[in-house]
Amino acid sequence: MGYLKLVPFIFILNLFGPTPTFSDSSSTSNGLSEIPKRFLQYAKNPELFDWMVGIRRKIHENPELGFEEVETSKLIRTELDKMGIPYKYPVAVTGVIGFIGTGRGPFVGIRADMDALSMQEMLEWEHKSRIPGKMHACGHDAHVAMLLGAAKILQEHREELKGTVVLFFQPAEEGGGGAKEMIDAGALENVNAIFGLHVAPNLPVGEVHSRAGPIGAGSGFFEAVISGKGGHAAIPQHSVDPILAASNVIVSLQHLVSREADPLDPQVITVAKFQGGDAFNVIPDSVIIGGTFRAFSKRSFMQLQQRIVEVITGQAAVQRCNATVNFFTQAKIFYPPTINHQGLHDYYLNVAGDMLGSHKVKDLKPVMGSEDFSFYQEVIPGYFFLLGMENETRGRLESLHSPYFQVNEDAFPYGAALHASLAARYLLEFQPEVSFSEVKKHHDEL
C-alpha cells in the first residue's frame, strides 16, 4: 500500500518538482567544464559544419511562412530519422519534437523556430530565396541548422546523458505565436527547463550576450476607427471632423508614457498607421489609426492596454466623434515580455564561460523587441541568449528583417555546441535528489 502511494509521488515530484537549483558547476574535477569544450571541438569538425551549412542553405532557398513550414518540417524529420532520433509530429501544425537520451527525467528543452518572413530578398547570391516575396531574414534557417547540429552532437554522446533532451522545432515565431500553440499541444509536459538562442548580426562571432530578468518587451498591436461626419472642407460647421479628433488622440496617447508611466519602467506607444481622407476639399467620415505598445512587465502592459482604450474613446468624444478600439496580433494574442530565469542565468554563465571564456560571455542591454520564446518562460524556467555573428574583417552585417540580411555561418559550431552543452550539462547538474526520509515525510502527509 505504502509503495503504491510512494510511486506516484516520486513521479509528480519529477514533473513539477523543485525549481532548478544548481550545484556549483565551476568544479573542474568532475569533468563538467570539459563538456562545452569537447562539444565545440566536435561541432567544428568540417563534416558536421558542412552538413549544418548545407541544411541552412537548403531551407534558405525555400522559405516558408508561419504554420506553412511543410518542407522545412519534412527536412527536419528526414534528418532526425537518419540519426535515429524519435520524434512527435505534427505538433502545432508543422512543429516537431525530438527526444534524445534515457526517455526518463529530468527533461530539458532546446528550441529553434522555423518560419520565414513575408518580404523579398534583395541580396544576389547562390542560395538566394527562390520564392518571390518570402525570405529567411531573421536567421530562423540558421536556428534550425544549429539545433539539428546539436541533435547530432547529443545523439553521438547519448550514453553520457542523464535524462532526456527535448528538441523543439516550432512554427510561426514571427507574429503567429507558434510557441503558444506548442504549449497548448502539450509540448512542455514534463520539461523542467528550456533554452533558446537568436543570431545577432551586430555582435562578434564567438560571443554570446544575455542577462537575468527581462531582455525583451511584451508587445501588442491596436487599431482604432474614429468616426465623425463627412462633408465639405470649406463648411466645417456642418461636419464632425475625424481627422482633427484622430490628431488629438495621437497627441494624448503620447502622454501615457511621458506622464503616467514610471520613468524607470520602459514603455513605448507608437502610432504607426494613420489612414483618412483622400481629397483636398472633403472632410472624411472616418479615420483609422493603429500602432504598437510595449512594456517589460505584465502589469504595465495591461495598464497601457486599458488606458489606450480610455484615451482613444474619451479624446474622440471631446471632438464629438465615436471610436472603437481593437487589439490584435496575427494570432490574436499578445507576446509577453521575455524574462530570463535567474538560476538558469547563473548556470548559462558557467557553461558558456567554460566554452568561450568568460570574457566572451557579455551582458545584454534589454530591447523593446519581442520574442515568442517568452510563452515558454511563462510556464517553466527558460533562458534566451544572443549568438554573435559579426566578423569585422568581412564588414558589417545588415540588421534582422533587412532584405539584405546575411548569416555568418561561422557562428554555427558555437550555436550547436552551446545548445548541446546547455542541455547535456543541465541533465547532469539538475538531478533532483530525493532522500528516502524526505519522500516518507511527504508520503505520510498524503
| Positions in the binding site for Zn ion (CB under 5 A) | 138
Cβ proximity to Zn ion: between 105 and 178 the closer is 178
Q: How far apart are CA 52 and CA 422, in angstroms?
A: 19
C-alpha 190/C-alpha 372 separation (Å) is 20
Nearest residue (CB) to Zn ion, 148 versus 261: 148
CB of residue 174 vs Zn ion: minimum separation in angstroms? 5
For the bound state, the minimum distance from the C-beta of residue 200 to Zn ion, rounded and expressed in Å, comes to: 10
Minimum distance from residue 138 beta carbon to Zn ion (Å): 3
Describe the strand order of the beta sheet including 267-275 as a list of residue ranges: 267-275, 286-295, 218-227, 322-327
Q: Closer to Zn ion by CB, 38 or 140: give it.
A: 140
Question: Minimal distance in Å, beta carbon 123 to Zn ion?
Answer: 17
Residue nearest to Zn ion (CB): 138
Compute how many other C-beta atoms are within 10 angstroms of the C-beta atom of residue 283.
23
Q: Distance between CA atoms of 146 and 198, rounded to whole angstroms? A: 11
User: Which residue, 325 or 411, is less far from Zn ion as judged by CB?
Assistant: 411
* Closest by Cα among 145, 73, 56, 12 to 442: 12
* Cβ distance to Zn ion smaller for residue 198 or 425: 198
- Minimum CB separation from Zn ion for residue 302, in Å? 25
Inter-residue contact 356 to 206 (CB < 8 Å): yes
Q: Which is nearer to Zn ion, 138 or 424 (CB)?
A: 138
Q: How far is the CB of 139 from Zn ion (least distance, A)?
A: 6
Q: How far is CA 385 from the centre of its chain?
A: 10
- 367 has which bridge partners? 216
Handedness of CA 347, 348, 354, 360 (dihedral sign): negative
What is the C-alpha separation between 108 and 188, in angstroms, rounded? 10
Between 42 and 384, name the residue whose CB sits nearer to Zn ion: 384
328 to 93, 192, 224, 225, 414: CA distances (angstroms): 21, 31, 11, 14, 37
Closest CA to 151 of 52, 50, 41, 37: 52
Least CB distance to Zn ion at residue 337 (A): 16
